[in-house]
Chain A
Amino acid sequence: MKLRIYPSIGIARLGNGPAKKDDVVFTPEIPWENLYNENLEFYTKDGALKKQAQRFYIYECDKNGVPTKKLDINSCKVEWTVEVANKKPFWYDFNNSLDLSLKTKNQNLSPNFYKNEIAPGISTSRRNPNVLNQTLINSGDINYRKELVNSPKAVSVSDSNKNQIIGGQFPFPLENETDSKIASAMKTTSKDVNLGAIEYDEGTLIFYPGDGVSAALNPSDLNTDFADNSNWYDDICDGRVTARVTIGDTIYELNNAESAAWIATAPPDYAPQIQPLATMYDLVSGIHIDSHEADFSSIFPVFYRLYRMQWVNLSDFLSPSFRETIDQIIEKGEFKLLFNNSEEAKPLREKIFNLFRDPLYNYNNEPIIPSKSVTDITNIGSGNEEIKYPFYPGDGINYPGSPAQWFAIPPILYDELKKWRDGNFKPLEKDFKNMQDTGEYYRKQYLEAAKDPSKSALLMTKAVLETLYGGGFHPGVELTWPMRHKEMYKENTLVYPEVTHNNCLFGLREIRINTASKKEQSQIFYNDFGFQMDSDDVNDSIKPDNSKHWLWKTTPGDLTKWMGIPWQSDAGSCQKVFLDSQYPIPAWWAANLPVDVLTEESLVAMRNTKLTPNTVEYLYANRSPWLMTTDTGYVGYHAEGGYLNGLINMVYKWKNIGVVAARKANVDGVPKTVYVAAESKNVKNKTAVFLGKAYPNKKVTLPPPNIFYSNTKEMVWIPSGKDAYLSSNPDGTGDVFVDDVLELQINGKSILNVDFSDGCSGKITPTSPIEISPFLEKYSNSFVNIEINYIDKCGGAESSSKFYLVFK
């Protein structure tokens, strides 16, 4: 029997909410599954941004490796192991995609990149360049750069050991060392930087991402660059997911490139129900374009995604826009012509086809995206060809005047469009009147296919890759340019040409990362190209017999090392890109990092039945900048606005910004389902009562037992129907502890006594917020006096966290 883990590539997204399966969102397991759900909540009851967790399954496969069904967990024992790392501080600065000068047959890239050098790769140097090998400084032989890789040991979970935290550090002390040399040199210590947590859940594995904590080792170092900030760390990671399955006397090790899976964490998706215009699945499929007969399902997705960008970007909502074009067609009753291959419909197909930019970039007169650099010698305004779709910047953004400054849909999508234009496609024999009905139809195809156990596994991988951006890569949102090369993959084969009968939807593929074996990993884990890396290194590495070919053997941390650090910098800065014209204004990855949004408050205002229909329309059309608060500093005076402020503020504001989610409109004259941005501040039903201060660590002076701190709160109202927690933050989060004992009295009666010393073991173990609702039940709907006491029980030292009583 052959076993494999699915999805073969997983994605988890950062959030400051808890790593608990009831309080996270899961990465979709069926493509398009979540698109219309009007009841999704992306903030917890406390107003924390939920983590997006990834669940992994084990499938039985046939002799060709095609999954047949989920492994029956009752018949076996499973131990899951996860090994991840963060290599960003160890890797290179980002200037542009280093494959842009590559001579390759890769169909994802126009040959013009190589032939005409329309946007050459720019060489780059190391992040944290001052961290050197000891041989370069003294005579010793220590590679301090290894400390820049946060690489915690692999952790495992099973039925008998269900939860594990992946506890990392930055800088990461060298093997057999307890302290970091870099940190010591900076007169500080390594910071705990957890990279996530894993849970065994009825045979499956849940991977939870980190909390989204980013900081500089030196607190005064601000993150002033969008992608490269030395001294900084974040808790993004990627790595391998393996399993050991015991069935009877047989042990199956799912730990090689064919059977293991890969997990990567990414920034939050702030519009999880709006799909990227071009997805990672498109790119992976597009490495080799298999000839196949097109049907409308391979054309519709790109239309639909572009049409739905109206919810996150003003330039896709107003006019001219693709939305406007489609809505005009619908109005004229011609919508059906879109999926009709007749000659009669050809002019319309031709017209729409011509709206799209050719990914070959065989032209060079589109508007110029100016650079702030003084060496930008292009004449702004000289690019006078009509701007094509999509209105998004591309990989060649660094070269004003290059056609590749603009993002083109990947060739695989463009080729399908061409076939469609020429009528070479199977028509859709339906009577749909608009985009929504058509979208729902294709969503049903996915749901239908998922009922087939043999397809459900491959659908999982596809569902993951469909949520990831497939360009432009500067550097990108989740993963970047190496992903569009065949060398990245151990396996990339089309298993099912159609998702359902007559609906290809680019089929279902088996996709496996070309991971290094354990032995290979031990040899190449810390490899780099020296002080500098350039396009030639990448060019060499493509050749299988070249010594640089290790670049394409993936070890933990290698997928995410190319991304910006801290991730918030890039997320906060990749918004609009201003031209010399006022409309349309291009923007970066609006489907994950929205640009202009309809706010929840606008929706509430629109529901006022006293408004005239005109006013409702104005409110509907009034879109606000998504980063309303971050790019101006803070709510309040706008004196500090600006790009740098946006970068810096995003480091702590990211968890409060609006997530665009589907909601029932309940308003006449606008779509039934609208996508509105709701912020964490919209979660309000919470009260925090300060109980006790954080007591600094001091030597005990009085013999134990002794109350070393006491505080009383009089006449505190205990509400009914709410949960009560003791936490160290007023939002109900934050671990609590007392060295040694916490006592809580209500009206002079002790109701809680928590000993954190584990019987004076010498170690104090903080706990997550303590739920005390049961103890307060009999006091609900009354005023009480609360006394909190910190008690020293064991002598030695005394200290404590802050204590809040939080009702929620």
Chain B
Amino acid sequence: MKTDVLIIGKGISGILLSVLLKQKGINSILLDRGHKNTSPLSETIPPSTLTLLNQLDLLTVFEETSSKTYGYQSKWNSVKILDQGFFNYNPYKYGLKLNKQLLLKQLEKTASNNSITYDLIKEIDKKKETTFVTIENKTKTYEIESKIIIDATGRKRALLKQLGIPSIDYDDTFAFICYIPKNEMHLKYGFFTETFNNGWGTVSDLNETTRIITLYISKSNTNFNLFKAYKNWNKILSNTQILKNCLPNEGIFKVIGKKANSSKPLHIVGDNWLAIGDAAMAFDPISSHGISNTIFCCNKASIVIKKYIENKNSAILKENYEDVLFTIFKEYIKQKEKLYTQKVITI
């Protein structure tokens, strides 16, 4: 098999890149590991990202698969509640709360229709201008020839691992996610962030009956283990104003743990490979702009891939992609540090 671009990973970044490449007339193949964590997280994108989506001709599909959100509130190590409404943002006075499964399903319809489910990447054979990737699934072995291969495997960084590119962690933030039924506590915008003694948390309305509470804490915190059991949450959140009141009066709910630290690989481009999305840089969720970064990053990647295919010069991958993204990452880490120093985390 032969294609221009081989994308490993069929999450939001992989599919999005495939869509953007197709718009540019570049064909791609999507490799899909199949089993995915399908729990909805109700990610949001802010009004500023909608302008970019509009430019990319993707606004309609995003809007059709999400609900509007008009702001958020937070109480960040302060007695005051900060109210961030989107009403004075132009031209879009709202953000979007995504139904990610539905979005992926819709995006897929416009993405490359070459998608292969695989179990194992057996071999990556990099030649000067072409790469041969051999993959296997239960029934078949494929050899795919492409001009460039993409790591879109999220925090797993499957391709990068295979290529021996190390990851650098900037912190050890961990997320504990819990779905709870809504109670009589109403949230103005359906989203609230609040700090507490050992960390911080968010509550986000998922649908008419359900909301998600996510608590973030450093893995090295001595109280870390307490967070694993819902029965401790009442105590953990006892000093909060909003979060504790969102916990239902009765019932025990399942807590799901998930890595949520900031990290990036040493490099996100190479001779004829490139990493996108969380594989390129994963953010501590404090940025709350994970999907926005993916959209930005896929757009940049699609442009640079087009140039690369046209003039076969791998230097532009670094100049036009890695350097840009790393600058952003550095800026983000700076901002994060500032927020965290505002917050006194007692350990």
Given A781-B251, A783-B179, A716:B209 Cβ within 8 A: yes
> Do B251 and A690 touch (CB < 8 A)?
no
Chain B residues positioned under 8 Å from A781 (CB to CB): 251
A447 at the B interface (CB under 8 A): no
- Shortest beta-carbon distance from B181 to chain A in Å: 4
* Complex interface bits, A711-730 against B, C-beta within 8 A gives 1, otherwise 0: 01111110100000000000
Q: Mark A761-784, 1 if CB is under 8 A from B, else 0.
A: 000000000000000000001010
**A524 interface residue, CB < 8 Å from B?**
no
Question: Which residues of chain A (540-598) have a CB below 8 Å from chain B?
Answer: none
Alpha-carbon separation in the docked complex, A781 to B210 (Å)? 12
Q: Contacts A715-B179, A719-B181 known; A689 to B102 CB distance under 8 Å?
A: no
Chain A residues whose C-beta falls within 8 Å of the C-beta of B99 in the assembled complex:
714
A124 interfacial by beta-carbon distance below 8 Å: no
Asked if A687 is an interface residue, CB under 8 A from chain B, the answer is yes
Q: Is the CB of B182 within 8 A of A717?
A: yes
- The answer to whether B206 has its CB under 8 Å from any CB of chain A is yes
Cβ 8 A contact of B210, one of A688, A712, A715? A715
The answer to the question of B310 belonging to the interface, with a C-beta cut-off of 8 Å to chain A, is no
Interface residues of B in 149-207 (CB under 8 A from A): 179, 181-182, 206-207
* Chain B residues, Cβ within 8 Å of A715: 39-40, 179, 206-207, 210
**In the complex, B54 has a CB within 8 A of chain A:** no
- Residue-wise, chain B 25-53 has the 8 Å CB interface mask toward A (1 for contact) of 00000000000001110000000000000
A689–B207 touching, CB < 8 Å? yes
Q: Is B208 an interface residue (CB 8 A)?
A: yes
Nearest chain A CB to B210 CB, angstrom units: 5
CA distance A712 to B105 in the complex (A): 11
A781 to B251, CA, bound (A): 8
Residue B101 CB within 8 A of the other chain: yes
Q: Are B210 and A717 in contact (CB under 8 A)?
A: yes
Which B residues from 204 to 242 make CB contacts under 8 A with A? Answer: 206-210
A783:B210 contact, CB within 8 angstroms = yes
List CB contacts (< 8 Å) of A472-504 with chain B.
none
CB within 8 Å of B: which A596-635 residues: none
Report A-chain residues with C-beta under 8 Å of the C-beta of B209: 687, 689, 716-717, 719, 807
A interface size (C-beta, 8 A) = 14
Bound: A714/B39 CA distance, A: 8
Expressed in whole angstroms, the minimum distance between the Cβ of B2 and any Cβ of chain A is 34
In the complex the two chains form, is A714's CB within 8 Å of B208's CB?
no
> Once bound together, how far apart are the Cα atoms of A122 and B155, in whole Å?
85
> Which positions 750-808 of chain A face chain B at CB distance < 8 Å?
781, 783, 807
* Bound-state Cα–Cα, A689 to B102, Å: 17
Q: How far is the CB of A721 from the nearest CB of chain B, in Å?
A: 12
Shortest distance in angstroms between B97's beta carbon and chain A's nearest beta carbon?
13
Distance in angstroms between the alpha carbons of A781 and B39 in the assembled complex: 18
Contact A717 B181 (CB under 8 A): yes
Pick the most buried of B99, B101, B179, B209: most chain A CB atoms within 10 A of its CB. B209
Interface residue count on the B side (C-beta < 8 Å)? 15
How many Å lie between the Cα of A716 and that of B179 in the bound state?
10
Task: Give chain B nearest CB distance to A688 CB in angstroms.
Answer: 6
Chain B: CB-nearest residue to A719: B181
CA distance A717 to B102 in the complex (A): 19
B207: chain A residues within 8 A (beta carbon): 689, 713-716
CB distance from A185 to the nearest CB of B (A): 41
B292: shortest Cβ distance to chain A, in Å? 22
Residue pair B102, A712 in contact (C-beta under 8 Å):
yes
Chain B proximity of A725: nearest CB distance (Å): 14
Least distance between B109 CB and chain A CB atoms (Å)? 14
A712-B181 contact in complex given A717-B210, A781-B251, C-beta closer than 8 Å: no
Chain B interface mostly: loop
Residues of A contacting B206 with CB < 8 Å?
714-715
Q: List chain A residues, Cβ under 8 A from B38.
A: 714
Considering the complex, give the chain B residue whose CB is closest to the CB of A781. Answer: B251
Q: Distance in Å from the Cβ of B247 to the closest Cβ of chain A? A: 14
In the complex, chain B residues whose CB is within 8 Å of the CB of A719: 181, 209
Please state if B208 and A689 are interface contacts (CB–CB under 8 Å). Answer: yes
- Least CB distance, B183 to chain A, in whole angstroms: 11
How far is A688 from B40 in the complex, measured between Cα atoms in Å? 20
Cα of A484 to Cα of B68 in the assembled complex, Å: 60
Name A685's closest neighbour in chain B (CB-CB). B184
Interface residues of A in 74-97 (CB under 8 A from B): none
Nearest opposing residue in chain B for A806, CB measure: B208
Interface residues as binary, A2-24 with B (CB distance below 8 Å gives 1, 0 otherwise):
00000000000000000000000
Residue of A nearest to B100 (CB): A714
Distance of A716 from chain B, by nearest CB (Å): 5
What residues of B have a CB within 8 angstroms of the CB of A714 in the complex? Answer: 38-40, 99, 101, 206-207
The answer to whether B182 and A712 touch across the interface, beta carbons within 8 angstroms, is no
Distance, CA A557 to CA B297, complexed state (A): 72
Given A689-B208, A689-B209 in contact, is the A712-B179 Cβ separation under 8 Å? no
State A466–B208 Cα separation when bound (angstroms). 47
Contact in complex: A690, B208 (CB < 8 Å): yes
Chain A window 399-421, contacts with chain B (Cβ cutoff 8 Å), 1 for yes, 0 for no = 00000000000000000000000
Q: How far is the CA of A714 from the CA of B109 in the complex (A)?
A: 21
A717 contact set on B, CB distance < 8 A: 179, 181-182, 209-210
Contacts of B39 in A (CB 8 A): 714-715
- Cα distance A148–B207 in the bound complex, in angstroms: 48
B40, closest chain A residue (CB): A714
**Inter-chain contacts of A713 with B (CB < 8 A):** 207
In the bound complex, CA of A714 to CA of B101 (Å): 9
CA distance A687 to B209 in the complex (A): 7
A152-170 near B? 1/0 per residue, CB < 8 Å: 0000000000000000000
Write the chain A residue with the least CB distance to B181.
A717
* Alpha-carbon distance A713/B207, docked complex (angstroms): 8
Shortest beta-carbon distance from B65 to chain A in Å: 11
Among residues 121 to 151 in chain B, which have CB atoms less than 8 Å away from a CB atom of chain A?
Answer: none
Q: How far is the CB of B207 from chain A (nearest CB, A)?
A: 6
Chain A residues 669 to 694 lying within 8 A of chain B, measured CB to CB, are: 687-690
Min CB distance B156 to A, Å, is 23
Choice from A689, A690, A712, A716 contacting B101 with Cβ under 8 Å: A712
**Which residues of chain B come closer than 8 Å to A687, judged between CB atoms?**
182, 208-209
Bound Cα distance A715, B181 (Å): 9
Whole-angstrom CA separation of A792 from B74 in the bound complex: 47
Interchain CB contact under 8 A, B251 and A716? no
Shortest CB-to-CB span from A102 to chain B, Å, is 61
List chain A residues, Cβ under 8 A from B210.
Answer: 715-717, 783
CB-based contact A688/B251 at 8 Å = no
What is the chain B residue whose CB lies nearest that of A716?
Answer: B209
Which residues from B are CB-within-8-Å of A807?
209
Closest to A718 in B: B209
Scoring A688, A716, A783 by chain B CB atoms within 10 A of each residue's CB, the highest score goes to: A783
Chain B residues with CB under 8 Å of A689's CB are 207-209
Which residues of chain B in 30-88 are interfacial with respect to chain A, using CB atoms and an 8 Å cutoff? 38-40
CB-CB < 8 A to A690: which residues of B? 208
In the bound assembly, the distance between CA atoms of A571 and B251 in angstroms comes to 48
Q: Inside 8 A of B40's CB, which chain A residues have their CB?
A: 714-715
| Chain B residue with Cβ nearest A711 | B102
Q: Which residues of A sit under 8 angstroms from B182, Cβ to Cβ?
A: 687, 717
Q: How far is the CB of A808 from chain B (nearest CB, A)?
A: 13
What are the residues of chain A within 8 A of B251 when measuring CB–CB?
Answer: 781
Task: Give 21 pairs: A residue, B residue, CB < 8 Å, sorted on A.
Answer: A687-B209, A689-B207, A689-B208, A690-B208, A712-B101, A712-B102, A714-B101, A714-B206, A715-B40, A715-B179, A715-B206, A715-B210, A716-B208, A716-B210, A717-B181, A717-B182, A717-B210, A719-B181, A781-B251, A783-B179, A783-B210
Kindly list 19 other residue pairs between chains A and B, CB separation below 8 angstroms, not including A688-B208, A714-B207.
Answer: A687-B182, A687-B209, A689-B208, A689-B209, A712-B101, A714-B99, A714-B101, A714-B206, A715-B39, A715-B179, A715-B206, A716-B207, A716-B208, A716-B209, A716-B210, A717-B181, A717-B209, A783-B179, A783-B210
- Cβ-closest 9 pairs across A and B: A717-B181, A717-B209, A689-B208, A714-B40, A715-B210, A717-B210, A716-B209, A715-B179, A783-B179
